[in-house]
Structure 1
Amino acid sequence: MNTITIIGCGWFGFPLATQLVKQGFKVKASKRDPDDLAQLQQAGIEAYQLDLAHIIADAKHSSLFDADAIVINIPPGLRRGDTDYLAYLTQLKNFIGERQYQKVIFISTTGVYPSLDQIVTEQDAAAFNDSSDILLQAEAIFSAMQNSCIVRFSGLVGPKRHPGRFFAGKTDVSGANVAVNLVHLDDCIAAVSLILSRKDTSAIYNLTANEHPTRGEFYVAATEHLGLIAPQFNQQEQPSKIIDGQLICHQLGFEYAFSSPFKMLDAC
């Protein structure tokens, strides 16, 4: 494997791309805004402008998809009310066409798991609401490809995403009992890099830290870490879930650098 394409080179995709360049790979990557291409080029990345809302199937895009492996990292934007996510992914899949890759990695989310007060593994995904249904349809578009691997990220934290800002200063917050499922950016980069290097991978992996403190414990500590006003939780409990992110450890020998959300605070 010599060449890797990354579709969506943003908060996760760009540091992944730079890490792969350091490892000696030729990396191609896309951004929607043409003004962002210079940053990619300066990092040694072959940059392409690609906006799936206005994509034209012409020759200038085709070489982007000529690679040994592809990582697809397009945030669904469902909380913002985006409604064209599946259409964009279908457009992307059509543009990939009949190309065969040594590895296809589609970045998804643990939002596919219902909160049923239990530990959930990769097999427990369910279309329990409209958003989870869309997410599972998105996964299915690429899981049908040969050598595919779906990687489901838990809540992402890291540079410019300090969890202490999530609930800072809020009052009457419910769900203090809810388990926290977070993963640090560095662990996401390391895990995806490992999956790219291995042939013997499962179809799906969760990525989440081993420890799962409650919201009431963690977010008070996180806000205090930043010197912000801690949230005030009420007594109203909410359904919870603990996401099991150990399959990648058992199968591929992966080790989380940040096994606890508390350890992530100094690295955000």
Structure 2
Amino acid sequence: MAKISILGCGWLGLPLAKALLKKGFSVNGSTTSSEKISVLENAGLHPFLINVILSPVEGSLGNKSVSGIIETFLQESNTLIIDIPPKLRGPNKENFVGKIESLIPFIEKSSVENIIFVSSTSVYGEQNEIVTEESPLNPDTESGKQLVAAEQLLQSNDNFKTTVLRFGGLIGEERHPVKFLAGRENIDNPDAPINLIHQEDCIGIILKIIQNDSWNETFNAVTPFHPSRSTYYAQKAADLNLVSPKFNHKNTSVGKTISTNKIETILNYTFTKPNL
């Protein structure tokens, strides 16, 4: 039975692990919460408590260490899925690039040959253009900048093959940005296109990458459905019986349109939630 390790069994990682188990894989799953170990175990995973720790040191990357038996977590796994998003909001900001640097020596010494790194379309910044995987990277947020650096660290390493998966805004049955926007006023960029993707398609695309052995690739992963923000969120608020958000139409809207032509052609993937 082939084994896959998932670093980060959260909102996406845990249902992904369950989907892999149904496909016949053995799955090692990590969490940073001791309370969640039983959740992973009950789902059929081999659970591991793993945390990458960076002690801040002014003017440096900090003291890097990994807690937990990461060697066993990676043992006998051919594929590693890294799904640990940068935590760069609030007072406890982290050095995400330093975290990836800490992990690489363990991966190099393991049986892992292939990596899927979950990234974000924030690496492109904002512009009124159609964006493909060949578009220049121009992140305008700290999160986007650190994701670019992390992508490059992994893809430049010859000890393994890394496929980067750049997701747009993540939605699911219990997770939708309209819940945050409902009732708000004076919201910018009403005419900008949406670039969202449903959890089911996130999982479906990862399964396709593994099935097709699509390694050393970069894919944009956004549902090819791009109505304007104002149109989409007004309709979605009505569908969910929420107060419709109000947008500011005085200023010019800025927003990219993410092309997913590569996923549809190279992976031959058909989206299961095309209209969100």
Fold-level similarity (TM above 0.5): yes
Partner of 1:49: 49
Deviation at 1:241, TM superposition (A): 0.5
Larger deviation, residues 182-191 vs 75-84: 75-84
1:99 aligns with 2:110: yes
- Among 119, 131, 134, which residue is 1:123 paired with? 134
* Change over 3 Å in CA distance of 1:200–1:56 after alignment to 2: closer
The 3-state SS of whatever aligns with 2:223 is coil
Asked if the contact 1:103/1:196 (under 8 Å) is kept, the reply is no
Residue by residue over 1:112-163, the C-alpha shift from the partner in whole angstroms, topping out at 9 and shown as x without a partner, is 1122211000121423435232110011121124321000000000032023
Give the alignment's Cα RMSD to 1 decimal. Answer: 1.9
Equivalent pairs: percent with the same residue? 28
What amino acid is aligned across from residue 75 of structure 1 in structure 2?
A: P
Where structure 2 has 5 or more consecutive residues not aligned to the other structure, the ranges are 55-63
Correspondences of 1:210-229 after superposition (within 5 Å) = 210-229=224-243
Partner of 1:140: 152
Asked if the contact 1:7/1:74 (under 8 Å) is kept, the reply is yes
What amino acid is aligned across from residue 253 of structure 1 in structure 2?
A: N
What amino acid is aligned across from residue 129 of structure 1 in structure 2?
A: D
What amino acid is aligned across from residue 96 of structure 2 in structure 1?
A: Y
Which structure has the higher relative contact order (CA within 8 Å, separation 6+)?
1
Correspondences of 1:39-188 after superposition (within 5 Å) = 39-53=39-53, 60-66=69-75, 67-80=77-90, 82-131=93-142, 132-145=144-157, 146-188=160-202
* Change over 3 Å in CA distance of 1:112–1:60 after alignment to 2: closer
The 3-state SS of whatever aligns with 1:169 is coil
Deviation at 1:77, TM superposition (A): 2.0
Q: Give me the whole-angstrom Cα distance separating, in 2, the residues matched to 1:51 and 1:90.
A: 14
1:244 aligns with 2:254: no
Q: Give me the whole-angstrom Cα distance separating, in 2, the residues matched to 1:215 and 1:139.
A: 29
What amino acid is aligned across from residue 73 of structure 1 in structure 2?
A: D
Where structure 1 has 5 or more consecutive residues not aligned to the other structure, the ranges are none
Partner of 1:232: 246
What amino acid is aligned across from residue 25 of structure 2 in structure 1?
A: F
Q: Give me the whole-angstrom Cα distance separating, in 2, the residues matched to 1:177 and 1:57.
A: 44
Q: Give me the whole-angstrom Cα distance separating, in 1, the residues matched to 2:218 and 2:117.
A: 10
